Amino acid sequence: MIPPKPEPRADRVSLWRYLRLFRRDILSAQPARLYRAWMAEFRTPFFRSFLINQPDLLTRVLKERPDDFPKSDRIGEGLRPLLGESVFLTNGETWKRQRRIIDPAFEGGRLRDTFPAMWDAGKAACARIQPGEVEVEEQMSHAAADVIFRTLFSIPIENDIASQVFTQFRDYQRTQPILNLAAFLPLPRLLPRGHRRKTKATAKAIRGLITRLTTQRMAEIEAGTAPDDLATKIMTTPDPQTGETFSTAEMVDQVAIFFLAGHETSASALAWTLYLMALYPDWQERLAAEAQALENPEFSTVSKLKLSRDVFREALRLYPPVPMMVRQAACPERFRDRDVPKGAQIVVSPWHLHRHERLWDNPDGFDPARWQTENGRKCLREAYMPFSAGPRVCTGAGFAMVEGPLLLSMLLRRFRFERIDGQDPVPVAFLTVRAKDGIRLRVTPRQAP
């Protein structure tokens, strides 16, 4: 059985029809030819956009010359009410300074320090799930948010402020598309940016709650009572070039993107992985057997979860949480004998790249064993980027590749997940790739609590 994907549009449509389709779901709004094209051009009266799938073009844009292809402001227009000037949206020297401060917190040694918090969040997730029909997207959102709060602020999701942030963010992610009106129209800065009123109100509420957490942590740092977690590490790390640390206001922006990237994307990936396990029970049983290694919960155990890692990697290929990334040409370029003007939008689509018919063997099929093949290893280097690539690769990529296989193994060790006839999910893209009506699975215990 082939895992589900949206039916692409096959015909040409007007710009305004495309905008309506895009706002509803960016995946089904795209034409089928993007699964075979090396490059595609999209024109509007206001800008030109080039989607690239050709590996050497991706290398040029993301790895070799990233400063010539900064993050597009058109993406920032939609996310700035929540993310402010976070590392996800900034460019140039501002971005480089932010990464110099943030990156040390996610180095290999620090991942070992976060393992106990991940383990506790996994145990809490197993305790929350009850046998029967379960909406696993909701459960994985809860679990991923718990991981973020435990590793970042040393508090569980049951903490009052953490719980409020989680609830507010759940509302936000269903009302905020990846791009809004300002992404398509040249609106002057003084004009409204096309944000929904509810979206702006929810973003303001979330930022207010995060401000309370960061202000409290800053006071604990000054008093010498702060726990040694990711927030403390980031807030006390000086920029090696200037010696400056983040202010409380700057930290609010960074916490917002840590929560978005670390919670929303992980929840999406884990939910789709559980669905794939229900769709392919033979693989589920293999992972459940491998998960017996968790009898001794130590960080070194993660290295033994090889099948779980391959399955999670394959789920990220089929359902990359961030389906599209947009860069902007800072100077005139030439791609595939075609002129690319300064200011053109360069779209990198992990969704299409990961299923590209001219790159991957069996592109739409679920095959975790592909990573041990020559084609799989080649595509892993050239055509696989669920966390982006190059200098702007997600700083939490290593974190995610510990969290995902670990929580997956803990869940499969405790429960069996089965598909429910007639309730297969349909992927759509909001902030991340989610299921249109959620992912419902039948859950039965394997092991007593």
Of 3.20.20.70, 2.60.40.420, 2.40.170.20, 1.10.630.10, the CATH number of 15-445 is: 1.10.630.10
Quick one: DSSP state of residue 294? G
d(CA 175, CA 182): 16
In this model, does residue 176 exceed pLDDT 80?
Answer: no
pLDDT at 54: 98
Query: What is the DSSP track for 56-81?
Result: HHHIIIIII-GGGSPBPHHHHHHHHH
Beta bridge partners of 417: 443
Model confidence over 200-215: pLDDT tens digits? 888 899 999 999 999 9
Model confidence band, residue 191 (pLDDT cutoffs 50, 70, 90) = very low
Beta bridge partners of 339: 334
* 183-212 mean pLDDT: 70
Q: Note whether 174 and 430 are within 8 A (CB).
A: yes
Least confident interval from 18-32, 287-301, 327-341, 385-399: 18-32
In this model, does residue 190 exceed pLDDT 50?
Answer: no
In this model, does residue 122 exceed pLDDT 50?
Answer: yes
Model confidence over 342-381: pLDDT tens digits? 999 999 999 999 999 999 999 999 999 999 999 999 999 9
pTM of the entire predicted model: 0.93
Element (H, E) at 86: none
Q: State the amino acid at position 296 in one-letter form.
A: N
In this model, does residue 271 exceed pLDDT 90?
Answer: yes
Q: State the amino acid at position 44 in one-letter form.
A: T
For residue 63, give every residue at least 6 positions away whose Cβ sits within 8 Å of its Cβ, in sequence order, or none.
389, 390, 391
Q: Does residue 340 or residue 19 have the better pLDDT?
A: 340
Residue found under tokens 């015909």: 11
Model confidence band, residue 423 (pLDDT cutoffs 50, 70, 90) = very high
CA–CA–CA angle 434, 70, 201 (5° rounding): 50
Q: Does residue 369 or residue 167 have the better pLDDT?
A: 369
DSSP strand E in 341-378: where? Answer: 345-348
Percentage above 70 pLDDT, the chain: 90
* 85-91 mean pLDDT: 93
Residue found under tokens 């795209």: 30
| 441 Rama class: left (phi>0) / alpha (psi -120 to 50) / beta | beta
DSSP strand E in 88-219: where? Answer: 132-135
Q: How far is CA 302 from CA 104, 202, 264, in A?
A: 21, 37, 22
The number of CA neighbours under 13 Å toward the Cβ of 434 is 24
pLDDT at 175: 61
pLDDT at 181: 45
For the chain, what is the mean pLDDT? 90
pLDDT at 255: 94
